[in-house]
Chains A and B, each alone.
Chain A
Amino acid sequence: MPWEVVIGLEVHVQLATQSKLFCACSTQFGAPPNSNVCAVCSGQPGVLPVLNEQAIVLALKLALATGGTIRRRSRFARKNYFYPDLPKGYQISQYDEPLAEHGAVEIWHEGQLRSVRLTRIHLEEDAGKNIHLATGAASLVDLNRAGVPLIEVVSEPDLRAPAEAAEYMRTLRGIVRALGICDGNLEQGSLRCDANISLRPWGQQALGTKVEIKNINSFRFVQKALEYEIERQSELLARGQAIQQETRQWSAEVGRTEAMRSKEEAHDYRYFPEPDLPPVEIDERLIESLRVALPELPLQRRQRLMEEGGLSDYDATELTRETELTDYYHLAVAAGGSPKRVANWMLTELLSRVDDARDVARAPVAPAGMAELLGLVESGKVSGKLAKDIWAKMWTSGGSALKIATDGDLFQQSDSAALEQAVRAVVEAHADRVAAYRAGKTKLMGWFVGQVMQATEGKANPKLVNTLLQQLLDG
């Protein structure tokens, strides 16, 4: 492609507070419409905002975790525009004096570590929700979300590919979850992003005309929207047409971005300092106390899993996607599971049984239970195949691996004398195949093993069966 792609993301992260940013209404998701709304967050005449201290604390954690510079004195500003989901006719946000600036997010993409610089992190209140009915001439307004605290994390235009942008958003989600500042529920809109994209000829310094894609709420969509946009813009450029600076939105139904109809000239937000809120002063002691209490971040965890457990790049990355997975892994290993076996079992047998990786924290089989089962496999007492059956029973009925194996007599048969009988019976019953094998059709060995396994209901130690069969057939 003749164009270099330049992408920057503005990610809105909903902070995990109990109450809204400027009033004491609950932030709970899924409440009946307009039930978490008071005089303040519905913008009644005469109300005033009062800042939630926890929102500041949570925002500072991200600033510290990304190495940002925290302003000792920051300021709220009003962003003025009219929209039915914006009760006051302005959004309280931050403008030229944000909470934090600079810093970076490290991402691991295509086997490489990349640093994406941050421009700023600022606090703002969310808007409500407009519901557009498919039929009829009306839209409905629900203000439950109005006033919920958000931070906007603005990156520099450091991203160069749609997949990289998706990985950046995924990494940022991992960080805010590890910090415990956001629940990371994309389907509930807890993380949303606006993507800025422009194309320029390779080697050119100046940025091309920027197009903004608004309000994308999944990793997949961010990638698809950007891929679509690259295609659209390169086609236009190839035809010698100019790119329109505009705001577009991703339509998942038709799989493309569409220009928004709102007039560009209407975007004069008339920012000015919020007179109802004095400047926010951040105490150095607060910063220090938060700094020392920062948890390990996903990228550090990933490194540790590779170094301590000898895990592969892939396994370590996947196991550190969610805090719950990493925690489960550590507990299983602490209970005696071998790191590689635990990792492998988790990424296949455990994840296939949950809808969302975060649910492993509430899995019916505790990490120690998994470790016990894997111990039985490791020591040869249970076959890999039967282990899956035992795992299924553990999941549904909740018993221990040992008990299920004992009750169901599911131990691997490694007693040579007993197995030899079964092997002998199979060999004797199929003289024709024995002859064929001995005549050179050695591929039949697999068939013989299968017969023995069938006869022993899968309990026979396959290695031993092999040895015994070889002795009889070749002997």
Chain B
Amino acid sequence: MEILELTATALAEQVRSKQLSAVEVARAYLARIAELDPILHAYITVDADGALEAARAIDARLARGEDVGALAGVPIALKDIFVTRGLRTTCGSRILADWVPPYEGMPSARLRAAGAVVLGKANMDEFAMGSSNENSAFGACRNPWDIERVPGGSSGGSAAAVAARLCLGALGTDTGGSIRQPAALCGAVGIKPTYGRVSRYGVIAFASSLDQVGPLARTTEDAAALLEVIAGHDPLDATSLPQPVGRYREACRRGVRGLRIGVPAEYFAAGLDPEIEGAVRAAIDELVGQGAELVEISLPHTKYAIATYYLLCTAEASSNLARYDGVRFGMRAARPQDLGDLYSRTRHDGFGPEVKRRIILGTFALSAGYYDAYYAKGQRVRTLIRQDFSQAFERCDAIVVPTSPITAFKLGERLDDPLQMYLADIYTISCNLAGLPGLSLPCGFSSQGLPIGLQVLGRPLGEEQVFAVAGAYEQAHDWHRRVPEVRR
């Protein structure tokens, strides 16, 4: 267990100084995957051969005295939304079940260039649509703290793998909370950076104006180390920000003395689990105790966020998913009678129920006669939600709220009611609508032993303040050191 307990930064240091070989590390993690993944199903594809090959290459380069990068030998899981050349990429969907991409995406390329070793592709809700991982075409992933419960979604496999030590760090994507919510439900650290901070090139699109890539890790500092590698301008993504990458690891140790912490009343309303509220309020007290200044703020349009989000994300998704037509890649329905049949049956057979629901909803929101009332209206309310935040950030440097109103729920419990499922995204969605950075870290456990997440939101490109708050809280507690005991 010794190798498995090292943090990413400590492990990379040991690999670089040849106290540990990258191959040893990869073997230790692959052995753990072989033992536990049949229970958890955190991976859709485990690439043992590829991982060992990459690890051997790193050891060989180290033997030649080369610098292999900040993440030397760090074993990583990639959400199966990241396009990997030559390695099957499914996006959790039947329609891409056998797709082997002809190119490599930017976030994974940057990780590999920094010496990280990719163990495999993590389970997820189909096309990142879901908050429970139950929408995966390859079967649900389980929560390592209680395998009868969901790990959250859509990056559920990434979060479960990090929490259960089936990888040391992972990449996820977050369109409406898909990194932060599973991180909260699995007891991991996850950050969705500012929109445009990490390249989306080679990240399969769900809702382009909201999607953002981010790391999941066991500690705030590991998340910061991963983000430092994947962040930064990419000329292949026109929405990529040109500003230099911040010093996130250093920020984790900066402390909160003098920082103004905003707490919005709207995030502590009906529907919030009292145990979660208690844990989050205690965390706020902790930060105040460390010298932060508490500021009460208001985000008055919060209650409109769900409607706004689901109008916009489904509309964009309906367009982004049009390319899955059975012509150039992916599944094709057998024996199509004509072109129309090829399209409509391929898409009927290839997409799962949630994806179909969102395609229909999004197509409707954009269709003639409804565009202004739905899509355009959503875009205008998005402006109001952004304004809420820009006004709030005039008075504070970071906002601290719960990540999810509930802890991990039972598999199957919420599948029949899409609206109830969507409403649980209430605390994570506004951050995407406003393009802000948001981080979730563990801040306690419920009486049932389920992790609780604390969410820190920052200004655009305010990742350093977010890490400062998260780091300050984390160093005062050991929630993040607890390891789930996976029981059948």
Contacts and interface: CB of A to CB of B under 8 A. Distances in A.
A and B touch in the complex (CB under 8 A): yes
Interface of A: 39, 42-51, 78, 80, 82, 84, 87-90, 139, 141, 268, 270, 272, 275-278
B91 A45 contact: yes
Residue from B203, B321, B322 whose CB has the most chain A CB atoms within 10 Å: B322
A163 B425 CA distance: 62
Contact of B375 (A46, A47, A272, A276): A272
Contacts of A139: 339
Contact of A276 (B102, B105, B239, B328): B239
B348 to A, nearest CB: 14
B205 A46 contact: yes
Contact of A48 (B82, B236, B318): B236
Contacts of A78: 319
A277 B202 CA distance: 16
A39 B371 CA distance: 31
Interface residues of B, number: 44
Interface stretch (B148-156, B295-303, B362-370): B362-370
Given A141-B327, A268-B367, A268-B368, A48 B237 contact: yes
B200 interface: yes
Contacts of A48: 200-201, 236-239
Contacts of B133: none
Contact of B325 (A51, A80, A89, A277): A89
19 contacts: A42-B328, A43-B323, A44-B83, A44-B101, A45-B83, A45-B91, A45-B101, A46-B82, A46-B101, A84-B325, A89-B323, A270-B366, A272-B366, A272-B371, A275-B207, A275-B316, A277-B238, A277-B239, A278-B238
A43 B328 contact: yes
A50 B239 contact: no
Contacts of A49: 238
A48 B239 CA distance: 9
Nearest to A50: B238
Interface of B: 82-83, 89, 91, 96, 99, 101-103, 105, 200-205, 207-209, 235-239, 315-316, 318-319, 321-325, 327-329, 339, 343, 363, 366-368, 371, 375
Nearest to B200: A48
Contacts of B366: 80, 270, 272
B323 A270 contact: no
Given A47-B103, A268-B368, 9 more contacts: A45-B204, A46-B82, A48-B201, A48-B239, A80-B318, A84-B339, A89-B319, A139-B339, A272-B371
B166 to A, nearest CB: 24
A66 B172 CA distance: 50
A78 B239 CA distance: 16
Contacts of B208: 275-276
Given A270-B366, A270-B367, A275-B209, A46 B316 contact: no
Contacts of B325: 82, 84, 89
Nearest to A81: B322
A45 B89 contact: yes
A124 to B, nearest CB: 16
Contacts of B200: 46, 48
Given A46-B202, A46-B204, A82-B325, A272 B315 contact: yes
Contacts of B322: 80, 82, 88-90
Nearest to B81: A46
Contacts of A87: 323, 327-328
B319 A45 contact: no
A107 to B, nearest CB: 35
Contact of A80 (B89, B205, B209, B319): B319
Contacts of A276: 205, 208, 238-239
Contacts of A89: 319, 321-323, 325
